[in-house]
Amino acid sequence: MAAVTINDTIVSGNHTFEPLDKETSDAESPSQLSRVESPVGRVLPSPPDGGRDAWLTVLGSTIVSFCAFGCINAFGQFADFYSKGYLDNYAITLITMIGAVQVFILYLMGGFIGALFDAIGPRYLIPASGITISFSLFMLSITKPQQIWQQYLTQSVLYSIGAALGFYPAVSVIPHWFRKRAAFAMGFVYAGSGVSGIILPIMLNRLFPILGFGWTVRIVAFMVLGLYAIASLLIKSPRPRKPMPNLLTLLDFAAFLDLRFTLFAIGAWFNIVAVFNPYFYIGAYSTVVNPDSRVTPYLLAIMCGCSIPGRIVPGLIADKFGRFNTVAVASTISSIFILSLWYLSTSEASLIAFACLYGILSGPFFAVMPACVAQITPIERIGGRIGILLTFLSTGALLGSPVGGVFIRTESVENFQHLVLFTGVISLVGSFFFIVARFVCDKRLLVAV
């Protein structure tokens, strides 16, 4: 849909944020949305921006986000366990590649699953996701030590396929229910992944020594199965199903003909190369600068915990002051913190401060990014556009952590600082493209975009 049109002028301090002109986008206005016709000739309803079914869908989508990103957010804990015994015959780069391939396949599936959702809705995709993720975790629980190919098969490939089957419908269904409050609602959905980043790392850290690898992972699998049963009952779409298109028409490559989308996608690609490095490496960095720190096992949980308000609150800000504005500003500030605070962190206090601030400032990238795409996309193509964006980002997700690992083949403060510089500079390049995309949407400075 079009860049957000704000009927009333927004005043902040001494600055006035003017409404975005309707001419800045070719997507539907609210009045047009109420009369958009489906391929089978029925008039599609305008998103209601609330109601019982809408908020129950948000709850169900949040549960799916918790489950789909659970083991991805907790991969730092898995990597620590693998490197200290379970897979200690393998280089750290090969171990971190398990997590990188996870994200790569999850994003790679986006174009297909997102467009498939546009055709058939969430009814069958959500249960299929829960079954596939649970099965992959049960298979992971019976893998053998020093057989890394089994981790790649179950944790990297099978788990990610299952996560994609649920995550894209869970995100793409939100604009079917919300328009003006879409970023806020999506913030709640993405906050689910942040909650999993708190619970699962601590849960794994406590249960691995007590129950062992197999039963710890099986407990997670049973938990996922139960949560998905609830989510499958809650998530609904108010829009009718469309006839199933052929495979080639599922992938919405026409999105890249829109300069706004293309520039935003390039910025997101650079950002995704960098954004997971603090999540994957902050624990290892803390071990090098403070070997006896008791805080190290909890830094990832702290970062994920702070990302929860970082995904919800920016949704409110984005819906009022502009989604592109929010992503561009948050990305720029987080890049500065990487290059300054993380680079100079040598104490527990400074690492905790960085974990908190980066968790907050990395949140808008994940939570508001789909709302930015929805803002410049006709509503009947939102799933495909979000999906094709994340498919485009898959190569960046695959490159980021392994390339970062090249800098720390020998773990030292100096080598980690090289990793930090790489991460910060790449993130800053992404921020530049976000800013350019924002000004392509509207050249005026004080306008909500």
Q: Any bridge partners for residue 17, and if so which?
A: 10
Residue 246 confidence (pLDDT)? 61
Residue 202 is assigned to a structural domain of this protein: yes
Residue 250 confidence (pLDDT)? 61
Residue 17 confidence (pLDDT)? 42
Residue 397: pLDDT over 80: yes
Q: Of 95-99, 220-224, 381-385, give the range with the top mean pLDDT.
A: 220-224
**pLDDT band at residue 238, thresholds of 50, 70 and 90?**
confident
Residue 411 confidence (pLDDT)? 75
Contact 79, 98 (CB under 8 A): yes
Tally the domains of the chain.
1
Exposure of 364 in the CB half-sphere (CA atoms within 13 A): 27
Residue 1 is assigned to a structural domain of this protein: no
Please give the mean pLDDT across all residues of the chain: 82
Residue 122 is assigned to a structural domain of this protein: yes
Mean pLDDT of 382-395: 83
| Whole-model pTM over 0.85 | no
Note down the domain range covering 138: 10-441
Residue 29 is assigned to a structural domain of this protein: yes
Q: Any bridge partners for residue 12, and if so which?
A: 15
Contact 427, 303 (CB under 8 A): no
**pLDDT band at residue 375, thresholds of 50, 70 and 90?**
confident
Q: Any bridge partners for residue 447, and if so which?
A: 18
Q: Of 48-57, 301-310, 424-433, give the range with the top mean pLDDT.
A: 424-433
pLDDT in tens, 292-337: 778 877 888 888 888 888 888 888 888 888 899 999 999 999 999 9
Residue 231 confidence (pLDDT)? 93
Dihedral angle of Cα 447, 367, 355, 205, to the nearest 10 degrees = 180
| % residues pLDDT > 90 (the chain) | 31
Residue 245 confidence (pLDDT)? 60
Residue 173: pLDDT over 80: yes
Residue 173 is assigned to a structural domain of this protein: yes
Chain centre to alpha carbon of residue 148? 26
Residue 446 is assigned to a structural domain of this protein: no
- Looking at residue 88, its amino acid is D
Weakest mean pLDDT among 61-70, 182-191, 256-265, 325-334: 182-191
Residue 42: pLDDT over 80: no
Contact 400, 274 (CB under 8 A): yes
pLDDT in tens, 183-192: 788 888 888 8
Weakest mean pLDDT among 142-156, 187-201, 324-338: 187-201
Dihedral angle of Cα 32, 253, 436, 372, to the nearest 10 degrees = 50
Dihedral angle of Cα 335, 110, 326, 312, to the nearest 10 degrees = -100
Residue 449 is assigned to a structural domain of this protein: no
Residue 361 is assigned to a structural domain of this protein: yes
Mean pLDDT of 158-185: 87
172-208 as b/e: b if 16+ CB within 10 A: bbbbbbbbbbbbbbbbbbbbbbbbbbbbbbbbbbebb
Backbone angles phi and psi of 447, in degrees to 5: -140, 145
**pLDDT band at residue 10, thresholds of 50, 70 and 90?**
very low
CA distance 407 to 196: 29
Look up the CATH number of the domain holding residue 259. Answer: 1.20.1250.20
